[in-house]
Amino acid sequence: MGGDGSEFLQRDFSETYERYHVESLQNMSKQELVKEYLELEKCLSRMEEENNRLRMESKKHGGETAETARVRQLELEVDRLRAENLQLLREKDLPGQERSPCK
């Protein structure tokens, strides 16, 4: 497969994973959702600390490219976790309402 085939597989995997994730969130109790949210908050906090540490190291060493790439990667992960936290908050705030697996 060429580049288009791998893009399709990546997109298909992402869509399937997202559907599975939404279904698993829907099957959680409010208590489980809150616990999941708190765990994600802890993870987010650790990643932000790591991100800040790497930024400081990068500044000290003149912005080494490997560390800069790691910082960028951590920033993307932090953004993803923030989005997931928002989704969990929405799920938690919608008790008793029918939740759709599609966005």
Alpha helices in the chain (DSSP H): 3-26, 30-60, 65-92
- Report the pLDDT averaged over residues 19-47: 91
Rounded CA separation 50/24 (Å)? 29
Give the three-state DSSP class for 78.
helix
Burial class (CB in 10 A: 0-12, 13-18, 19+), 33: buried
pLDDT in tens, 78-89: 999 989 888 888
Rounded CA separation 100/9 (Å)? 24
pLDDT in tens, 47-72: 999 988 888 877 777 655 676 778 88
Q: Which residue has the tokens 């708190």?
A: 38
Cα of 99 vs its chain's centroid, Å? 20
Identify the band that residue 1 occupies on the pLDDT scale cut at 50, 70 and 90.
very low
pTM listed for this prediction? 0.47
Terminal Cα-to-Cα distance of the chain (whole angstroms): 30
